[in-house]
A = this chain, B = another copy of it.
Amino acid sequence: MSDAAGTRRGRSAEGRAEVRRELVAAAAGLFADHGYDETTVDDIATAAGVGRRTFFRYFRGKEDALSPDHELGLARIAEVFAGAHPTEPLLPLVLRAAETVFDLYLDDVEVARSRFRLVRDVPALRDREAASVHHYRRLFTRELTARLAGVPDGELRAAVSAAAIVAAHNQALRRWLADGGRLADVDACRGHFRRVAPMLPLEPDDAGLEDVTRRLERAANALEGRQDGRSERRTG
């Protein structure tokens, strides 16, 4: 065991990523096999071939080893917002930012499904997931608040829109993972998600409340329009 550690000691960049992957894989395997609470950090570290102390140099705690992409998702969303024009309409911008997170789950579907089951069943992980979702919501709220400055009830509208966006996103993701998580359903999931977006109280500029009326009417029309057709929307 000091053998494997010795051969890895040198590489600073590649070695760290490799150790991290091994720790994530070990944690996922042990969690799936013996459960979350029954798996100790010592078990994960030993399975990955490193010391217990090293584990905490890669993850803040045992829970972080399960979903290590959380901060990456936050960074990507922030990137989308940072790369957008200040006058860009908010609705497509928010959609683009939210859909960015979908790609993180598409990287390895099997791991995502395994994580989903685990988070659904273990209370401690449910709370952790809730905190994670809270961070996404906070980020959206911050960005929307900054872009809704000057608009009446801007903060309130930003908070509501952010919560609705994140909830719709999670609902779509949850349904996709619970129903099997086949890749063919990703489009349906995304459509499922986009469906709610037009009914959000978002303002592209400091236009005023008259534009909300038009936007809400458009959203209502969109809802009315796809009352029967479900998978036909990709052709329109």
Contacts and interface: CB of A to CB of B under 8 A. Distances in A.
Contact of A168 (B130, B159, B217): B159
Interface in A215-234: 216-217, 219-221, 223-224, 227
A195 B227 contact: no
A77 B4 CA distance: 56
Given A130-B134, A156-B196, A159-B168, A213 B209 contact: no
Binding site secondary structure of chain A: helix
Contacts of A30: none
A157 B133 CA distance: 18
Most buried by B among A164, A192, A208: A164
A127 B172 CA distance: 23
Contacts of A175: 155
A204 interface: no
Contact of A192 (B156, B168, B201): B156
A192 B160 CA distance: 12
A153 interface: yes
A60 to B, nearest CB: 11
A164 B156 contact: no
A131 interface: yes
Interface string A180-212: 000000000000100110010100000011101
Contacts of A127: 127-128, 131, 134
B168 A156 contact: yes
A26 to B, nearest CB: 25
A40 interface: no
Given A164-B160, A221-B213, A224-B212, A155 B133 contact: no
Interface of A: 126-128, 130-131, 133-134, 137, 152-153, 155-157, 159-160, 162-164, 166-168, 170-172, 175, 192, 195-196, 199, 201, 208-210, 212-213, 216-217, 219-221, 223-224, 227
